[in-house]
Structures are given as structure tokens and as C-alpha cells.
Homo-oligomer: A and B are copies of this chain.
């Protein structure tokens, strides 16, 4: 490839990246700042910029640049060819008509889902879900009729991960988690921490914690949002949001640490490759591994809770919350119905239910009409709970209303990667936990920067993780981590179940 055409490609992709940062800024504003009456205007602004981004993404010159890149030896150029070719071919192969139909179906589907959930009536959503599935199947077929349709959708979130590997890992994880959950459920429950604490002072505590982990406030900020998220708008602008609740310090703080984990990844990406796909995160699953690593492996550990108690004490000297309370409440396990409120042990079971059902829908072994019953049966079997209605069951998540099939696995992939990264770090850094207890998180961040962040999307996520941790069994790492932490807390040992 000539330098000129590589430069032209980087220039073109850089413009798309800049535009996407603008779209991200509008999205952030919409969820944190925008006045309610601006909804329609914001829709027009986003539509205009999205159309531009689409036009630029499907620019025919990209095809020429990609051909010139084929067989490049430079690793950045090679990675760029792999990443960009995939998305470009997708954009080109899916007929415009199908793109439009899907956009309309998503918009209608979202409205129908809101209505169905409000009335807890799956029937109102069912016809839309059928359409969304049908269009998604046709979309997968247009991309590549010879590959598993679910894998093609999964690939948009977690390229490099196969349906076969997911099926195997998730089944083993499920079978390893159910005895742990059963053993815990037989023990006396741990009470919630529900001391009421002033929200403004909680936010100051959150900011201190995020800064201590290494989140750079000179290149970011922390705001309140109904549904917390992180948005990487480009170099020097990675914003986090959280949800603060007066009576749930740990719920809010968990969100902040989770989002700070995402943000640390974004802040550590190889920005020198800006304008190439290499400067981006490698996958949703790997992104989630970074948030979960901080939220769970570090943030719910006993040493972290000891450090946290000093921080809580500094902000709330009269609250009388100690490390032991923080540690126990952070790790309380409960058989619940709602994924987003789930603890670390049950969380993956919620995800596995969804993955199995999605896969069955795409493989034709399950119909939309059978979905609510199948959902309830799996909740009974894996989690030992029975949803009293569809709103708390099959209708609880927004994802399917937007045709985001293949998204759920990234949550559990994140937990799997994080547990192997944690095991590796423990082995590599003998004084890990005394550093954490002292509030010194620099070696933790340095490890993630070195092993994960700086690679961007140079390799696919599974390769990045393999290079970082070696040939480890992620399922076994996750199970032994969970048995270790919760077994100790609840007084159960592996093999009890």
C-alpha cells in the first residue's frame, strides 16, 4: 500500500471518528443535561449526523483503500484491514431497504416494549419481536449465508468469539454456579447496608474513589444519569455517569467504580493510532472485563473495603460504617428476578438464560410465543425464582426491542476475562492486596494498561487476553474466584453443593 492511500484512509476514518465523538457528545448531553423539550430537535441533529456517518462509512473509496491494504505487513495496517473490512463489508452487503426496515422496526419495537412492560403484557411486544428477529436473520443472511446467523450478530459486539466456544463455556459456568448458589441459599442471609447518606456528599466520595483508581478528571467528568454509562468521545474526553441513591451507598458506588473501569480502558487506548480502528476497544466483552475487574475483583474485595471504610469515614464521620459491614454488604447474594440488580454469583445465570433463549430463537428450536414460558422455566431451574409477571420476567431488558441480539454474552465474557486477569495479577504481584488496602491502585492500573489497554484493537479480544494471562481456563478461574470469596463469607466450601 502506498503511503498516500494509507494517509487518505486514516484521514477519512479520522473524520468519521471525529463525527462519532460529536454524536457521543450529543448522546451524553441527552442523558445528563438536555432539557426535556429538546427531544425532537436532538432527534433531528442525531439523524443528520448519523446519515453523514453512514455515507462516509460506505464511501466507495474505502473499498479501494482496503484492496491496497491487503497483505500489508505493518501490524497496525493489518489490524486495520481486518477490522475495517469486516464493518465495511457488512455496511455494503446489507441492502439499504433492509437497513431502513430495521431502523423502523427498532423504533416501533422500542415504543411497543415500553408499552408492553408498563402493562406487563408480552402479547403487545410479541409481533414486534417476531419482526425484529426476522429482519435480523435476513440481515445475517445478507452478510454471509454460510455462517451461523447468531455468530454474525455476536461478531458486532465480540469479534473473534464463536458460538461454539460460548455454548461450551456458558454451559460449564451454569453447571458450576448452580451448586454455589444452592449452598449460599441455605445459609442465613446478609442484611443490606441501608444507612441514609446525603447525596451531594456521596458524589464527592464517588469522585475521590474514581480519582484514586486512576480516572483522570482533567480528561473527564462525573455526572448523574438515570442509567449510568461511560462515553469515550475521543482523546482527552471520557465521561462517566453514575446513579446516586440516598439509602444505597454501595449500589451507587458500584456503578461509579464500574464506569471508571470502562473509562480507564478508554483513557488508556493507543491514541497515537487515532484515525485507525486500532485506537478503539477490541470488543464489548473486553470492555466489560475492565469495568467488572474494578467493580468486583478489586472493588468488592476485603482489602478494598478496608480502604473504602477510611474514605467513607472521611466523608461521613458520623455514619459509623465499618470495613466488615462494607465487605459483607458488597457480597450479599440473593436469588433475584432482575439482572441489573443481581449480585456477582447470580448475575451470570441471568445472562446465560438470555443467551440460551436467543440462540434457541435463532436456531429455530424456540418460537416467540413460547418465549415467556421458556424464560420462566429457566429462571426456576437456574435461579430458583419464578417471575410473577412478564415485566419482571421476559420484558425486563431493553436489548431485544432494539434488535441487539448477541449483546448479552459480552456481560459474562467480561466476567470470565476479568477473573483470569485477576488470577494472573495475583500471581504476578504478591503484595497486590496490601497495595489495594493502602489505596495504592497504581500497579493494578499499570498491569491493565500494559496487558490490555495499550493494545487497542490490534488483536481480537480473545488473543489479547490469551497473551495477557496465558492458556487459562476462564470458567474455572471465575468459579474458583466466586467460591473463594463467597464461600468464605457464607461458610460454604466447593463440593458442599
Contacts and interface: CB of A to CB of B under 8 A. Distances in A.
Contacts of A21: 41, 45
Contacts of A220: 35
A25 B28 CA distance: 11
B45 A235 contact: no
A221 interface: yes
A36 interface: yes
A216 B37 contact: yes
Nearest to A219: B37
Contacts of A44: 18, 234
A233 interface: yes
A236 B219 CA distance: 30
Contacts of A25: 25-26, 29, 45
Contacts of A236: 35, 37-41
A217 interface: yes
B218 A37 contact: yes
A116 interface: no
A79 to B, nearest CB: 23
Contact of A19 (B40, B48, B217, B237): B48
Contacts of A48: 15, 18-19, 22
Contact of A37 (B38, B39, B237): B237
Contacts of A360: none
A18 B51 CA distance: 13
Interface in A201-228: 216-221
A33 interface: yes
B22 A233 contact: no
A385 interface: no
How many copies of this chain does one complex carry?
Answer: 2
Contacts of A237: 34-35, 37-38, 41-42
Contacts of A18: 41, 44-45, 48
Nearest to A19: B48
A1 interface: no
A41 B218 contact: no
A20 B484 CA distance: 56
A220 B36 CA distance: 8
A235 B36 CA distance: 11
A319 interface: no
Contacts of A33: 33, 221
Interface in A99-134: none
A49 interface: yes
A36 B21 CA distance: 16
Interface in A229-244: 233-237, 239
A19 B48 CA distance: 8
A40 B42 CA distance: 25
A266 to B, nearest CB: 13
Contacts of A233: 38, 41
A219 B22 contact: no
27 contacts: A18-B44, A18-B45, A18-B48, A22-B26, A22-B48, A25-B26, A25-B29, A29-B29, A33-B221, A35-B217, A35-B220, A35-B236, A35-B239, A36-B218, A37-B216, A37-B218, A37-B235, A37-B236, A37-B237, A38-B219, A38-B233, A38-B234, A38-B236, A40-B235, A41-B234, A41-B237, A42-B237
Given A33-B33, A38-B236, A42-B237, 15 more contacts: A15-B48, A21-B41, A22-B49, A25-B25, A25-B29, A25-B45, A34-B237, A35-B219, A35-B220, A37-B219, A38-B219, A38-B233, A39-B236, A40-B236, A41-B237
Interface of A: 15, 18-19, 21-22, 25-26, 29, 33-42, 44-45, 48-49, 52, 216-221, 233-237, 239
Closest 8 CB pairs of A and B: A37-B236, A38-B237, A37-B219, A41-B234, A38-B236, A37-B218, A18-B48, A22-B45
